């Protein structure tokens, strides 16, 4: 008797809950299905990294090979080349590209002319919205060795031309330079937002106390954006093996490929072009796992040292 009434009550509560929230469930459904189909099914697709996957045999029929592809990757001669190229670009951008928006934001923050600041901001945000195809096209038109304007200028001064686009030794610099050109302006937004929250009275008080520009910047402005800088650094470190396909792919050619092959382009070439699905998935999985552990570790370190992390 009593258990029966409990189930009845439970059922009526469920019914009430359903009546109350059924429309929310309905709104939830499309996005839920999207995440399952386009995010979680591919996540389960990583099992093929442990198989000799063939599209004809399918996920179930393909032979299991354990860590064979990972052994191939780590023992193979490509691994060191990929790691050097990828880290080379990442570290160079960590040193030059990461601080660029911070510096520009600090500069913009010091500009008192509203008009000058607005015009400058309008210009520097534009490249963010331009595709990498166009960026690569512009780079080609400016830097190519036969009629690029940069080379024409260099030739006029030194009498020599520099093969920026077809020589491995310039590849990293070109990539990081493109990133700086494209994303520095847009990257300032987040720092400027943090700076707009600083109490101006702090500056007034410090100025009365005789603090100069550098001291104001060092003791008031920088601490105000410290949290933001750390968050951005965590994200940056987490994507240290993520150099992106598009930019590198569009800038690489037969001449500079020695420095241009990174994990992302390698996965594309081995997987989609050559059809070595399992091996390419193993490379991608290695990259994802490293990226995830980097984010979690740097987040943990940030939290330990008293900063707010992202997760």
Partner 1 sequence: MAQAQGTKMKTNKIKSKSKIKRSVGDQIIQVIIYLGVGGFALLTLLPFVYVIAGSFATEKELTERAFFLFPKEFSLNAYNYIISSGDIFHGLKNSIFVAVAGTAINMFFTTTFAYAVSRKKFKLRNFGLNMVLITMLFSGGMIPNYLLISNLGLLNSFWALLLPGAINAFNLIIVKNFFQEIPSELEEAAKIDGCNDISIFYKIILPLSKPVLASISLFYAVSHWNDYFNAMIYITDQKKEVVQIALRRIIFMAGGIDLSGESIDYGIFGAPPEKAVKMAATVVATIPILLVYPFIQKYFTQGVMVGAVKG
Q: How far is the CB of 107 from partner 1 (least distance, A)?
A: 5
Under the binding rule (CB under 8 A), the answer on residue 64 touching partner 1 is no
Asked whether 266 and 286 are in contact (CB, 8 A), the reply is: no
Q: How far is the CB of 86 from partner 1 (least distance, A)?
A: 15
Asked whether 233 and 219 are in contact (CB, 8 A), the reply is: no
Under the binding rule (CB under 8 A), the answer on residue 12 touching partner 1 is no
CA separation for the pair 215, 221 (Å, rounded):
9
Binding partner 1 (rule: CB under 8 A), the pick from 4, 66, 123, 158 is 123
Radius of gyration of the chain (CA): 26
Only one of the segments 62-70, 86-94, 159-167, 227-235 lies at the binding site for partner 1 (rule: CB under 8 A); that segment is 227-235
Closest CA to 251 of 158, 306, 172, 197: 172
CA separation for the pair 126, 132 (Å, rounded):
13
Q: How far is the CB of 281 from partner 1 (least distance, A)?
A: 4
User: Site residues for partner 1, window 98-117 (CB under 8 A)?
Assistant: 104, 107-108, 110-113, 115-117
Binding partner 1 (rule: CB under 8 A), the pick from 6, 27, 67, 80 is 27
Under the binding rule (CB under 8 A), the answer on residue 255 touching partner 1 is no
Only one of the segments 1-9, 81-89, 168-176, 228-236 lies at the binding site for partner 1 (rule: CB under 8 A); that segment is 228-236
CA separation for the pair 52, 59 (Å, rounded):
10
Nearer to partner 1, 64 or 129 (CB): 129
Under the binding rule (CB under 8 A), the answer on residue 248 touching partner 1 is no
How many other CB atoms are there within 10 angstroms of residue 306's CB atom? Answer: 6
Asked whether 63 and 52 are in contact (CB, 8 A), the reply is: yes
């Amino acid at each position: 008797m009593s258990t029966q009434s409990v189930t009845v009550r439970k059922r009526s509560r469920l019914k009430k809950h359903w009546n109350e929230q059924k429309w929310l469930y309905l709104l939830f459904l499309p996005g839920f299905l999207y995440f399952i189909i386009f995010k979680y099914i591919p996540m389960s697709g990583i099992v093929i990294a442990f198989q000799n996957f063939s599209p004809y045999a399918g996920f179930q029929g393909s032979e299991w090979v354990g860590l064979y592809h990972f052994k191939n990757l780590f023992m193979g001669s490509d691994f060191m080349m990929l790691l050097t190229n990828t880290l080379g670009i990442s570290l160079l951008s960590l040193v030059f590209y990461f601080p660029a928006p911070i510096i520009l934001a600090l500069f913009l923050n010091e500009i008192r002319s509203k008009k000058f600041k607005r015009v400058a901001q309008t210009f520097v945000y534009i490249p963010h919205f331009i595709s990498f195809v166009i960026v690569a096209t512009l780079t080609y038109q400016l830097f190519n060795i036969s009629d690029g304007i940069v080379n024409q200028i260099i030739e006029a001064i030194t009498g020599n031309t520099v093969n920026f686009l077809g020589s491995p030794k310039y590849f990293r610099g070109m990539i990081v330079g493109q990133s700086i050109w494209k994303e520095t302006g847009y990257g300032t937004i987040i720092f400027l937002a943090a700076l707009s929250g600083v109490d101006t009275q702090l500056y007034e008080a410090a100025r009365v106390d005789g603090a100069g520009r550098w001291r104001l910047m060092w003791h008031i402005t920088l601490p105000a954006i410290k949290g933001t800088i750390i968050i951005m650094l965590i994200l940056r470190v987490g994507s240290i093996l993520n150099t992106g396909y598009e930019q590198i792919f569009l800038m690489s050619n037969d001449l500079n490929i020695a420095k241009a092959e990174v994990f992302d382009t390698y996965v594309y070439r081995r997987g989609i072009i050559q059809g070595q699905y399992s091996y390419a998935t193993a490379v991608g999985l290695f990259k994802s796992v490293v990226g995830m552990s980097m984010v979690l570790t740097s987040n943990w370190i940030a939290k330990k040292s008293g900063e707010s992390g992202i997760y």
